Chain A
Amino acid sequence: MTIKWEALLQVFGATLLVTLVVVTLFVLGIRALSGERKVPAYASFAGCVAVVLYGLSLIVF
């Protein structure tokens, strides 16, 4: 009976990394937006979108 702990650890690592990156970028975007700093705000949101699309592309291809 073998449990693939490595695969479970991958799930944990990927979830932790991706979630914290997306969430942090998003909040920084909102902070920039409240300070009327449009360029950094949109750059942060674009970063979120890029991370999500990259993740999905890993699953599809």
Chain B
Amino acid sequence: MAAAVEYIQKDSPVHRLNAATKIFWALFTLACGLLFNDYRYLLGLLASVLLVAAAGRVLKNLLPAITGLSVFALILLLIQALFYDQGQVIFHLIPQTSYLPVTNYGILSGVAMAARMLSLVLSFLVLLATTRIQDMVLTMVEKFKMPYDYAFMFMTTLRFIPTFLGEVRQITDAQKARGHAVEGFNPFKKIRSYAPVTVPLVLISLNKAENMAMAMETRGYGGGRRTYFKEPKMRGADYLLTAVLLLLLVLGVTARVKGLGVM
């Protein structure tokens, strides 16, 4: 499942959309998923999410995730079916007895639950697969007025993950060559035996951070107005989609207030 969460570089209409539009779409899906509990509405929502994934050409990449989630969906359906006792009894799980009745409403509400879970999770996976994290962070800064310092901190963390892992490997190699081994099953001993790796790691990282701060200073970081190289531009399609989604949301809320889409 972890594999599906990362950005997949492709050229598709969904990739080309502005990060803000896609974030809005994911939030819209979330809202709809929570508004309704009619299985037909929720299955429709799931279908729309899959459609977007297909348009973004990431359906195939998300397949492992979808399979994994389907197992959870089945479990949800089962639990729901078992503990929902309204409606007509269709059959009993233990035949010839009156134990564990399964009702028609139970099954339908289970389907609704499963579809809701799938659409919510998948919409965020589609968002992550089609949008670079950098763009998302920039959108947070531009559209949602997050201070750039936090955004920068987050991006630097991303930048340093490979470096950090390389460092861990190098130190582990060095200490192993010196005969050091992480030993035993005693947790206290084990924690102590990590010291030869963690202590140098912390010291080296601190030194790196210090040098980095200097390098950033010589490049004019800190204080003052900042501009952005990749200004995430809203284009026609973005405005159109946002408008459509907004309209749908208003319709959805009205429908819900009128009692539609609820079982």
**Do the two chains bind?**
no
